[in-house]
């Protein structure tokens, strides 16, 4: 049974006081779009993942989402599904991913978010998971298949350990639904750019600006946009809409194409650097304080 914890407040969340909040405040002061890199932990191995994550952080990723492999990744497209399969073949478990977080935290201050389906967390136990993740140095948790209405016990356990609870909002979310999601979220709100599963797309949804405007009615938290973000042009456009771009499948595909872990780390670093340059210089860049 999970340990008892004080239920989370239902008041409207504001900025995170941890590494996630600090990074977004730095980005806002610089007038810069953040870049969130999603990488599947354990793909192709835990040891390789450590090198790849560090390379991504050094190349300019502002936050790292570490995927926890799962046998039935229903929200993911084929690229991330294959990465999950490779990670499972390399004996990657949630416990080993948390151990990886500890090693990464000793080498980098980049915020680390555990990105998981709920089943592995439930199997470990909410209290045990929250304790271990916080002790390792994780900053937040995003559970893809957990809705706010069923998350009170989870939020209590995670929040008691000072971890941010990040939830997803979709273009199909009504205003009432957005309000509920925003009230359950801390750190940043993750906006899904389009319906469907993860994967690279040629262009962003035309509904995205409206979704961002609606979300901002209900939260002061930063907005990060993911699903289908892969090109510098996508990142440039998002500079006028959101606070961060989340890139996943495009980076995971670089790992899949590489022949060695060293090549994978180099390829991911190169792609991150290009995307981060677009985030800094894109036409949609929000002006920093003092800019004309």
Beta carbons within 8 Å of 91's beta carbon, 6+ residues apart: 42
Q: Which helix (H) or strand (E) holds 192?
A: strand 189-192
> To which residue do tokens 């980049």 refer?
110
**Catalytic residue (one of 62, 76, 139, 164):** 76
**Between the CA atoms of 276, 279, 282 and 287, what dihedral angle is there, to the nearest 10 degrees?**
-140
∠ Cα 142 148 150 (to 5°): 105
Q: How far apart are CA 70 and CA 72, in angstroms?
A: 6
- Provide the angle, in degrees to the nearest 10, between the axes of the packed helices 46-59 and 94-105: 40
**Catalytic residue (one of 43, 65, 164, 243):** 65
Q: Which helix (H) or strand (E) holds 212?
A: helix 208-216
| Whether 139 is catalytic | no
User: Cβ–Cβ contacts within 10 Å for residue 142, how many?
Assistant: 22
Q: How far apart are CA 14 and CA 143, in angstroms?
A: 20
Q: How far apart are CA 225 and CA 53, in angstroms?
A: 20
| Whether 164 is catalytic | no
Q: Name the residue among 265, 264, 268 with its Cα closest to residue 276.
A: 268
Phi and psi (nearest 5°) for 93? -125, 170
Q: How far apart are CA 64 and CA 49, in angstroms?
A: 12
Catalytic residue positions?
A: 65, 76
């Amino acid at each position: 049974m999970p340990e008892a914890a004080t239920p989370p407040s239902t008041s409207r969340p504001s900025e995170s006081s941890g590494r996630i909040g600090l990074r977004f405040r730095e980005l806002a002061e610089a007038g810069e779009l953040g870049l969130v890199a999603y990488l599947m932990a354990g793909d192709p191995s835990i040891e390789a993942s450590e090198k790849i994550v560090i390379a991504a952080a050094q190349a300019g990723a502002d936050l790292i989402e570490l995927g926890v492999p799962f046998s039935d990744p229903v929200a993911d497209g084929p690229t991330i599904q294959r990465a999950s399969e490779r990670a499972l073949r390399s004996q990657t478990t949630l416990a080993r991913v948390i151990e990886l977080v500890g090693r990464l935290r000793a080498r980098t201050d980049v915020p680390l978010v555990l990105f998981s389906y709920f089943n592995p967390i439930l199997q470990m136990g909410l209290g045990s998971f929250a304790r271990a993740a916080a002790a390792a140095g994780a900053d937040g948790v995003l559970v893809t298949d957990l809705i706010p209405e069923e998350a009170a016990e989870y939020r209590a356990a995670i929040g008691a350990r000072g971890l941010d609870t990040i939830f997803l909002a979709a273009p199909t979310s009504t205003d009432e639904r957005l309000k509920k999601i925003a009230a359950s979220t801390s750190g940043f709100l993750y906006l899904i750019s389009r319906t469907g599963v993860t994967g690279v797309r040629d262009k962003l949804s035309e509904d995205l600006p409206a979704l961002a405007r609606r979300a901002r009615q209900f939260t002061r938290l930063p907005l990060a946009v993911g699903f289908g973000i892969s090109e510098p042009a996508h990142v440039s456009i998002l500079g006028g809409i959101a606070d961060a771009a989340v890139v996943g499948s495009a980076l995971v595909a670089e790992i899949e194409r590489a022949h060695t872990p060293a090549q994978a780390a180099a390829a991911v670093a190169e792609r991150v650097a290009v995307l981060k340059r677009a985030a800094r210089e894109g036409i949609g860049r929000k002006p920093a304080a003092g800019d004309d």
